[in-house]
Amino acid sequence: MSTIASADAELVAQLQRGSEVAFRALVEQYQNRIYRTVLALLGSPEEAEDVAQDVFVEVYQTIGRFRGESTLATWLYRLATSRALKHRRQARARKRFAYFTSLLGFDNRVLYEPMDNEHPQAQMEGRQQVEILRARIAQLPDQQQVAFTLRHEQELSYEQIAAVLNTTVPAVESLLFRARKTLRNHLQPIPRHA
């Protein structure tokens, strides 16, 4: 058993005994990775923070059912991507409902707030490209989007992504190939003003 696997096994054992110290260690070790993964899928820092917290609450509540069939990190990424996609589906459903009720005159609230893509170091062209890229990534099918995010945001190996998605490495390669092809086909360079 590798050092990492034995450290994970010890951490899981402590968590299953209800150790608050172990839970704090888990959060400290994984919170940034989980947050960045969820943020890449949702695009909203506030929503990503809420969903990431929900992931750790779920871990705390369900750690007793963790059987070690995957690594702890793989299990956490599965929970995070699953929760983020569920949150996004629910948000879309709420927006559709709000749109239809506003058409009927029942609701006058703002239906859509654009994502805040401002970054202190980014220039206007860079912000536009980031916004376009995020929009295109958000339009990918869920499995492609998760594979792309885990590969390019979290730099996971194909094997790790396969474990998170509960699939094979060739299937991950296919998902990433299709995601990249779709993005290349839809992303056009922004014309520069002369």
- What are the extents of the domains in the chain? 1-88, 118-194
Name the pTM for this structure: 0.63
| Domain 118-194: CATH class, spelled out | mainly alpha
Q: What are 39-71's pLDDT values in tens digits?
A: 999 988 999 999 999 999 999 999 998 888 889
Residue 41: closest CA among 152, 163, 128: 152
| Domain 1-88: CATH class, spelled out | mainly alpha
Regions of the chain short of the pLDDT cut 50: 1-3, 97-122, 190-194
Half-sphere exposure of 182 (CA within 13 A, CB side): 17
